[in-house]
Structure 1
Amino acid sequence: MSISSIEVLSIHGAGAGGWEWALWRAVFEARGARLHAPDLEPARDVAATRYEDYLSQVCAALSALPRPRALVGASLGGLLVAEAAADADADALILVNPLPPAPWHAALPARTWPERVAWGRDARLASTRAAMPDADPASALRAMRGWRDEAGAVLQAAWDGRPVRRPAMPVLCIASRDDGDVPPTLTRALADAWGADFAWSGAGSHVGPLLGRHAFETARYAHDWLRARCHAGTSAASV
């Protein structure tokens, strides 16, 4: 596989958008890869959106890309691309602080989501900066302006557990050392069970590998991993 021509489909987390991948796109495209970061579109109304609506969009976007191609997902996007990868012709899969599939989901705190999670409506700069302490002020402002309301049914489906088969392609799992949303031990357990490569990010938050001061080095590591295509087998490393 030629890394210079690889097509990378990157899927954002809940309440966000393709803008989350701007720093990764800068790294990947500077190295010759093409990174596609679409916005997941709600159904006729956010509250009416279901997990399958997003999953079908991921599958359709991937099928439209030529080979070689890779899937990358963060948080909810990580769960979506992992599920899409089980039935997809992709060459590699990267999961960044992914919401865990079943049975690892059971280790998340129990939670019930409202029909509409008003992350966009209630976005404030102070709370955004608190959620991403490793980001610079400009990145925090961009994130605050980019948050959007999310479908509670989508999040509830993820929290209730999605059965995902182990993908057949090489997999890399990246975990923040200080992730207050998805414990990094869950990401490590998933990597171990799937025989995936695993890397620690120095990011200090759940979104830090994409939006924090460690985003560029995390993106470079991910690109290097794609180029190497797991030649050394399963390993643990630090970003």
Structure 2
Amino acid sequence: MATFVLIHGAGDVGWYWHLVEAELRSRGHHTVAPDLPCDDDTAGLPEYADAVIAAAGDREDLVVVGHSLGGFTAPLVCERVPARLMVLVAPMIPAPGEAVTEYWANTGWDTEPREEHDDVFYQDVAPGLAAEARARGRAQSETRLGEPTPMGAWPSVPTRVLICRDDRLLPPGYLHRVARQRLGVVPDEIDGGHTPALSRPGTLTDRLVRYL
């Protein structure tokens, strides 16, 4: 069975994945979902990758899954561990040498047609669960997000992109374009908003397992 290494997004914690972890473990897989030092002004993308790799330890048969900003960390992890697969969920998809702060302008996010909403993260998450997610969240430090990613080239690991049809932050049309331009990949789609590990953990788990 595989070990799924689950990387959360900006200002979040590993708890984000807890429902997916339960689903994966019930199917016989192992999981690792570390907290990244995203609220630490001294930490940047290299330290995020360090935290993930330390949590993975000497486990093998790894599937590295990055959500949202975790798309910047996942390829750095895959450069250093023996991953069999990388899955990017509702992701930011970095280019070599790109800083997180450059991503939005470089990908044309600001000019992408989309509706304005008050809630772009948890619109389809049960209210109690959304409240807990907000309470557990942490402030995302931006101190080092202006540094270029140390990724020199996309790692030679099979990569799948999974997008959410109702994503208000990273709309499907936008992610289809970015995935095609940057990876030459046609994304897969599931229903739901930007945080499917909370709103649709069973559906997300089905996809992750199917990719094996």
TM-score by length of 1: 0.72
Q: Does 1:220 align with 2:206?
A: yes
Paired residue secondary structure (1:39): coil
In structure 2, relative to structure 1, the CA distance for the partners of 1:206 and 1:223 (3 Å cut) is same
1:16 partner SS: coil
Q: Where in structure 2 are there 5+ consecutive unaligned residues?
A: 111-117
Equivalent position amino acid for 2:140 in 1: E
Number of aligned residues: 197
Partner of 2:10: 14
Distance 1:190 1:82, change over 3 A: farther
Aligned counterparts, 1:39-78, within 5 A: 39-41=35-37, 46-62=40-56, 64-78=57-71
- Which residue number in structure 1 is paired with residue 166 of structure 2? 178
Q: Which has the higher contact order (CA 8 A, sep 6+)?
A: 2
State which drifts further: 15-24 or 160-169: 160-169
Residues 150-161 of structure 1: matches in 2 within 5 Å? 150-157=140-147
SS of 1:25's partner is helix
Higher helix share: 1
CA distance in 2: counterparts of 1:154 and 1:176, whole angstroms: 28
Q: Which residue does the alignment assign to 1:116?
A: none
TM alignment of 1:1-239, pairs within 5 A:
5-41=1-37, 46-62=40-56, 64-102=57-95, 105=103, 106-109=106-109, 131-157=121-147, 163=151, 165-192=153-180, 193-196=182-185, 198-203=187-192, 205-207=193-195, 209-212=196-199, 214-226=200-212
- Percent identical pairs in the alignment equals 27
Q: 1:187 to 1:163 in 2, by over 3 A?
A: farther
Q: Could you list the per-position Cα deviations for residues 17-75 of structure 1 after superposition, in whole angstroms to 9, with x for gaps in the alignment?
A: 00000111121111100111111135xx723322222122223334x132211101101
Give the gaps of 5 or more residues in structure 1. Answer: 111-126, 227-239
